[in-house]
């Protein structure tokens, strides 16, 4: 990521990320310094330097390959209730309740293959653990998302000790 100073012909100070092209606009509001004041240019330079530092710290570069995705990709796992999980538009993992032996997770082994079959995956202390166990079973590790009532996707934290 590289933030650089550009000029769009307005009085605004425009900084631009050279990688994703996003522009960040700042307006110099230092009062009491006339343009011909010897210190004015210096004050402006110091201010621009601060803007560059702020922009570099705040900018979330969309060109950054390591940045987290913001919505599910094809092949990711999604749920809207933490009980039914879908992959490629088909149920792949679900929490079965009301069973005589208590609740347990049922997994669609070989999800997209011809010989796919439902198996009992077992019981887990958390939803995240069940998803991780399913990924191990499938030897496939996509991102998992919770879709809110409003349709917003939130990436689930599947790291060690995830909630």
**Residue ranges in contact with Zn ion by CB under 5 A:** 17, 19-20, 61
**To the nearest whole angstrom, how small is the minimum distance from the Cβ of residue 55 to Zn ion?**
10
* Those residues with Cβ within 8 angstroms of residue 135's Cβ, 6 or more apart along the chain or in another chain: 141, 142
**To the nearest whole angstrom, how small is the minimum distance from the Cβ of residue 163 to Zn ion?**
30
Compare residues 69 and 75 and give the one whose CB is closer to Zn ion.
Answer: 69
Compare residues 1 and 112 and give the one whose CB is closer to Zn ion.
Answer: 1
Compare residues 70 and 117 and give the one whose CB is closer to Zn ion.
Answer: 70
Chain centre distance of CA 75: 16
**To the nearest whole angstrom, how small is the minimum distance from the Cβ of residue 74 to Zn ion?**
25
Instruction: Give Cα separations from 106 to 44, 49, 83 (angstroms).
Output: 63, 57, 10
Give the three-class secondary structure for 2: coil
């Amino acid at each position: 990521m590289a933030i650089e100073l550009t000029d769009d012909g307005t009085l605004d100070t425009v900084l631009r990320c050279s990688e994703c092209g996003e522009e960040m606009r700042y307006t110099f509001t230092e009062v009491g310094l006339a343009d011909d004041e010897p210190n004015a240019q210096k004050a402006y330079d110091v201010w621009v330097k601060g803007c560059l530092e702020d922009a570099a710290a705040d900018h979330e570069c969309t060109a950054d390959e390591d940045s987290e995705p913001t919505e599910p990709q094809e092949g990711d796992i999604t749920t809207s209730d933490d009980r039914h999980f879908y992959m490629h538009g088909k149920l792949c993992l679900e929490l079965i309740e009301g069973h005589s032996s208590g609740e347990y997770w049922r997994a669609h082994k070989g999800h997209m293959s011809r010989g796919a079959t439902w198996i009992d995956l077992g019981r887990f202390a958390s939803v995240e653990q069940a998803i991780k166990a399913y990924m191990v079973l499938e030897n496939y590790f996509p991102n998992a998302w919770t879709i809110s009532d409003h349709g917003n996707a939130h990436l689930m934290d599947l790291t060690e000790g995830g909630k």
